[in-house]
Amino acid sequence: MSAPAFTAQIEQAIDRTRADVSALHAQLVSNGLVVWTGGNVSGRVPGADLFVIKPSGVDYGDLAPHTMILCDLDGAVIPGTPGSDRSPSSDTAAHAYVYRNMPEVGGVVHTHSTYATAWAARGEPIPCVITAMADEFGGDIPVGPFAIIGDDSIGRGIVATLSGHRSRAVLMQNHGPFAIGSDARDAVKAAVMLEDVARTVHIARQGGPLIPLPQDAIDALFHRYQNVYGQTTEKETD
């Protein structure tokens, strides 16, 4: 089947998204968030009801822009496009559900990173007890409901848990973490930071009771990091 005709502008956006999503998978490997072929990154194509996602069961070293798979927002593979001869990630329906129902989301990441998945196995939120968590997530990392892979049930749980929540990450019970972002890179950053705080808080709890951060401090830290930190007028460093 021939490929659909896209405008030159959309074709360029698809190519950029393919390149970005392909390259970002290396960040999952270098940060120790995945093993073998598990995990995935997807990215929404700007200006189109499309997203790009990793193919199923392909070694990370074999990923390239042309092996990424282009899907519509129902999770259907766009025929005749590069990569369309392969099956998309088994999490495609979940990613598609997120994109359909959270238009502000431009990237979705799933990993089985060790410490975050351990919290998910207990069905326990990660409490906000360090400033880095307040900065990045604005509070606790919530737990989403248990759902079986294969349809949009996981996506429904992600959306229900994160809608109206500051956190860009959710621990799907007995499964593992998902992270969202304004684009694919932002979602990967959230996944990396999630594993870092999951490890730190786990280790801290082994030494004794955790000290919760006051809500007003969490609010102030989140506001500063999200709206001031890194801007040209910012003088402080963290």
H or E segment to which residue 8 belongs: helix 8-30
229 annotated active-site: yes
Catalytic residue, from 91, 95, 110, 183: name it: 110
202 annotated active-site: no
Catalytic residue, from 112, 165, 202, 223: name it: 112
Burial 196-232 (b: 16+ CB within 10 A, else e): bbbebbeeeeeeeeeeebeeeebeebbeebeeeeeee
60 annotated active-site: no
Asked if 176 and 116 touch (Cβ cutoff 8 Å), the reply is yes
Asked if 178 and 108 touch (Cβ cutoff 8 Å), the reply is yes
The distance in angstroms from the start CA to the end CA of the chain is 53
95 annotated active-site: no
Query: Which letter does DSSP use for residue 37 in this model?
Result: T
Catalytic residue, from 97, 175, 183, 196: name it: 175
- Only one residue has tokens 């995945």, namely 34
Catalytic residue, from 135, 152, 183, 196: name it: 135
Strand positions, DSSP E, 60-162? 69-72, 107-110, 143-144
Residues classed as catalytic:
110, 112, 135, 175, 229
